[in-house]
Amino acid sequence: MATTDYTVRKARHVTWVGFWVNAALGIGKIAAGIAGRSGAMIADGVHSLSDFVTDVIVLVFVSLSRRRDDAGHQYGHGKYETFATMLISLVLMAAGVMLFADGAGKVWSTLHGGELPRPGWIAFAAAVVSVVAKEWLFAYTRKWGERISSAAVVANAWHHRSDALSSLATLAGVGGAMFLGPGWRILDPVAAMLVSVFVVLVSFRIGMPSVRELLEVSLPAEMCSGIWSVIRGTSGVKAFHHFRSRRNGSRIIVDVHIKVDPSISVVEGHDIADAVERRLRDAYGNEMIVNIHVEPYRGEPIDPTGACID
């Protein structure tokens, strides 16, 4: 498992790579759009520059989220990363809505007699470079985000993917306008509208887990089932109840009452609780926060999960 310092360093490195690639693409695409008479390419360049916002969010919030517990944040700073992920999803959603509105405006204008200008080769070449660069950046960022278990870095990877899809729509539109004639230039805004719908859907997929975490929603059922299995499989545990779970960034938090033989000593009960905590951390990571209350088992009925039926 990666150390906290290593995680922060790698998150920063990955994000800085994206930062400079976005800078080069954004400036290059805007210049190519102006030189190549392509409004779609100019808009695509502005979209790339918008990634600066998410890069800055990740650079700031990932560092904050990995700080150690302190008096004011006794459960750690994991919610900073959660909040950053939600902000990134909102930026994605806003970008998708703006792309759709821009495409719809162009379609409306074209259907009412307007004509889009014919783009130049420099705009077409810039679109090809953008698609390739952003797909590479998406794969690179997602790989490291998953490797260091950073939701914010993974979310930023999907923002790179949205930019690649935007560039793909631009490529289709520029290509159609160049090779198929004026009547087909409407392909550019139509493709942009279709891609914008996908961007909005991706923003929901990224944003909803962070919203659920901020609302203190419990861990997924399959994860809870695995945790219950570890608890009831610990020697000395007769049953458990009052189980609660949630996330704080990349950290799992669990509160549980375990039932033990009432005839054992306080020290033995404490040792059993320590064993439960140790086994849970072995299974789900050393950063896991486990709060255990020990109670005597007095023959209460137990359901199939190992929990007491109160």
pLDDT top residue among 113 and 135: 135
Mean of pLDDT values over 189-217: 76
pLDDT of 11 higher than 80 = no
Mean of pLDDT values over 1-22: 72
pLDDT of 74 higher than 60 = no
Give which of 38, 199, 39 is closest to 123, Cα–Cα.
38
Please write the tens of the pLDDT for every residue from 236-291: 999 999 999 988 776 788 999 999 999 999 999 999 999 999 999 999 888 788 99
What token pair was written down for 239?
A: 């049953």
Q: What percent of the chain has pLDDT over 70?
A: 85
pLDDT grade for 72, boundaries at 50, 70 and 90: low
Q: Which amino acid is at 84?
A: A
Mean of pLDDT values over 83-97: 79
Mean of pLDDT values over 101-125: 81
What CATH code is assigned to 4-214? 1.20.1510.10
> What's the pLDDT at 57?
67
Domain 221-296 part of CATH 3.30.70.1350: yes
Q: How far is CA 201 from CA 76, 90, 105, 150, 196, in A?
A: 31, 11, 21, 21, 9
Q: Which amino acid is at 206?
A: I
Cβ atoms within 10 A of the Cβ of 94, count?
15
Q: Of 27-31, 34-38, 68-72, 157-161, give the lowest mean pLDDT range.
A: 68-72
Task: Locate the domains of the chain by residue range.
Answer: 4-214, 221-296
| SS3 state at 292 | strand
pLDDT grade for 65, boundaries at 50, 70 and 90: low
How would DSSP label each residue in 7-30?
HHHHHHHHHHHHHHHHHHHHHHHH
Pairing of strands 251-260, 289-296: parallel
Q: What percent of the chain has pLDDT over 90?
A: 17
Calculate the average pLDDT of the chain.
80
> What's the pLDDT at 193?
76
pLDDT top residue among 229 and 207: 229
> What's the pLDDT at 102?
82
Handedness of CA 20, 25, 30, 32 (dihedral sign): positive
Q: Torsions phi, psi of 253, nearest 5?
A: -120, 130
Give which of 102, 123, 114 is closest to 191, Cα–Cα.
102
> What's the pLDDT at 1?
44
The label of the residue with tokens 């033989």 reads: 261
